[in-house]
């Protein structure tokens, strides 16, 4: 994500009508949203907009599903408490 054209490049691949490329892009962004440190950067770069585009223009059902899962991952984790290495777990 440190590359200056990361988001535009992924968006370009998402705009194809190739279902495989759309699924790969959605999976990459889904994985970004799954890691706290990357989630906020990905959201700031507009990666969730790429997922929205794929959902609205999916080449097949699997591409739509992957983009939907990625979007849900952004939404469900947006309010997650930051991970703390020193936090004690209460049982």
| Higher-scoring residue by pLDDT: 9, 81 | 9
Do 33 and 49 touch, CB atoms closer than 8 A? Answer: no
Q: What is the mean pLDDT of the chain?
A: 83
- Split at pLDDT 50, 70, 90, the class of 3 is low
Assessment of whether the complete model's pTM goes beyond 0.85: no
Enumerate the domain spans of the chain. 6-77
**Predicted local distance difference test score (pLDDT) of residue 61:** 97
What pLDDT does residue 78 have? 54
Q: What's the rounded Cα separation, in Å, for the pair 77 and 3?
A: 24
CB 63 within 8 A of CB 19: yes
Three-class DSSP category at 45: coil
**Alpha carbons 9 and 61: distance in angstroms, whole number:** 23
């Amino acid at each position: 994500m440190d590359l200056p054209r990361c988001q535009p490049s992924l968006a370009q691949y998402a705009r194809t009508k190739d279902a495989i490329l759309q699924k790969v892009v959605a999976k990459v962004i889904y994985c970004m949203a799954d890691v706290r440190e990357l989630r906020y950067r990905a959201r700031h770069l507009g990666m969730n907009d790429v997922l929205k585009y794929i959902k609205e223009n999916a080449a097949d059902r699997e591409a739509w599903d992957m983009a939907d899962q990625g979007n849900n991952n952004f939404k469900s984790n947006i309010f997650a408490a930051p991970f703390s290495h020193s936090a004690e777990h209460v049982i």
